[in-house]
Amino acid sequence: MSTPASTTSAARGGATAGTPVLEVEDLHVEFRSRGPVVRAVRGVSYSLAAGETMAILGESGCGKSVSSQAVMGILDTPPAVISGSIRFEGRDLLGMSAEEQRQVRGPGISMIFQDALSALNPVYSVGFQIGEMFRAHRGTSKKEAREKAVELMDRVRIPAARQRVDDYPHQFSGGMRQRVMIAMALALDPKVLIADEPTTALDVTVQAQVMDLLKDLQRDTGMGLVLITHDLGVVNEVADRVAVMYAGRVVETGTTDEVFSRPAHPYTRGLMSSIPMLEDKGKRLNPIVGAPPSLSAIPSGCSFHPRCPMARRADDARGSAGRDCTADDPALREVAAGRRAACHYSEELLHG
């Protein structure tokens, strides 16, 4: 599903400049129990404007989903301990009461969960579950909520919506269940939609249909979209900006075109190099060696250094004093106009 990295934001629909509708600043999430503390999210920051699509990408276990669940306010506290700032239209969500946060969820920020089959309740019809959004937030009658459910099922292009509104989740295919999840997320016309792996376990054709549907709905409503994924092809097609996460923190940000064409972090470059290309048919893939670290035992220094081909010590002849990847944790800093990366050698990557 990949497209050339030269695809412009305008071709994707473009981002709407202006005041961010969602601002996440220095977000930390730890899980504290009897065992070691799990540092799932470590200082994540990003902003999202109305009409903009931002992708958060990285390998499984890097903290993508947990960071968005913290934004949604659906993590149990305890065991989760959340700090930092999450502002929706200038209001700090972490300073709100549970009831105030509930009022924001749905009409303000909504989420498409990763596994539609487990997210949907098997004992209720899909129409009842979609209509519940209207009954809970707007006090509509059961009859009116059912009609709203039919309208939404039509909106997300589920065939014969009126005949299928009383069907149960197991009676739908994977792609249709994902459309039901999208209908539920869009029921109250949210200003921010978080899509957590919306194309997981779907075949390529259905993936394309789901992403096209999201783009069309975003164009119609002007909502901001946070796309959580590890599918680089999907990101390249639809995202305006990218935040790359590793071991619970953002290691690189920038426009999709720039990040894909000129990575400023070795991890991002490794992700790009691992994409199978048609012209490389018959050649061996070039994966990133090793595996992500446990979030309860994150390495000292740069968390990527055990897997990084550029990792250096201060006394390494290739390096310079004070740049020890095994001891010095690089901060996320500006390395070019509109580009930020957490690597001591980002400039070397960009200009080497």
Mind listing the pLDDT tens digit for each residue in 136-195? 888 889 999 999 999 999 988 899 999 999 999 999 988 889 889 888 888 888 999 999
- How confident is the model at residue 315, as a pLDDT? 67
- How confident is the model at residue 221, as a pLDDT? 85
- On the question of pLDDT at 50 being above 50, the answer is yes
Mention every residue, 6+ apart, whose C-beta is less than 8 A from residue 65. 114, 196, 197, 228
Which one has a higher pLDDT value, 239 or 16? 239
Paired with 92 in beta bridges are 87
Q: Is the pTM of this model over 0.95?
A: no
CB neighbour class for 87 (10 Å; exposed up to 12, middle 13-18, buried from 19): middle
Distance CA 133, CA 131 (A): 5
- On the question of pLDDT at 15 being above 50, the answer is no
- How confident is the model at residue 88, as a pLDDT? 94
Give the distance, in angstroms, between the CA of residue 275 and the centroid of all CA atoms in the same chain: 19
- How confident is the model at residue 338, as a pLDDT? 87
Q: What average pLDDT does range 257-264 have in this prediction?
A: 93
How would you label 23-58 residue by residue, b for 16+ Cβ within 10 Å and e otherwise? Answer: bbeebbbbbeeeeeebbbbbbbbbbbbbbbbbbbbb
81-95, 146-160, 203-217, 301-315: least confidently modelled range? 203-217
14-18, 128-132, 135-139, 335-339: least confidently modelled range? 14-18
Count of H-run helices and E-run strands, the chain: 13, 12
Distance CA 69, CA 31 (A): 13
Q: What average pLDDT does range 2-28 have in this prediction?
A: 60
Q: What average pLDDT does range 34-42 have in this prediction?
A: 91
- How confident is the model at residue 3, as a pLDDT? 39
Q: What average pLDDT does range 315-335 have in this prediction?
A: 78
Residue 6 pLDDT level (bands cut at 50, 70, 90)? very low
- How confident is the model at residue 201, as a pLDDT? 67
- The DSSP H or E segment spanning 84 is strand 80-88
pLDDT digits (tens, 9 = 90+) for 91-143: 999 988 888 888 888 889 999 887 777 889 999 999 999 999 898 888 889 99
Tell me the C-alpha to C-alpha distance, in Å, between residue 119 and each of 59, 178, 184, 205. Answer: 22, 10, 11, 23
- On the question of pLDDT at 10 being above 70, the answer is no
- How confident is the model at residue 161, as a pLDDT? 93
Helix residue spans in 32-105 (DSSP H): 64-72, 98-104
Residue 80 pLDDT level (bands cut at 50, 70, 90)? very high
- On the question of pLDDT at 328 being above 60, the answer is yes
- How confident is the model at residue 319, as a pLDDT? 54
Mention every residue, 6+ apart, whose C-beta is less than 8 A from residue 177. 116, 117, 120, 169
Q: Considering only CA atoms, which of 49, 38, 27 is closest in space to residue 224?
A: 49
3-state secondary structure of 174: helix
Q: Considering only CA atoms, which of 74, 133, 68, 127 is closest in space to residue 107?
A: 133
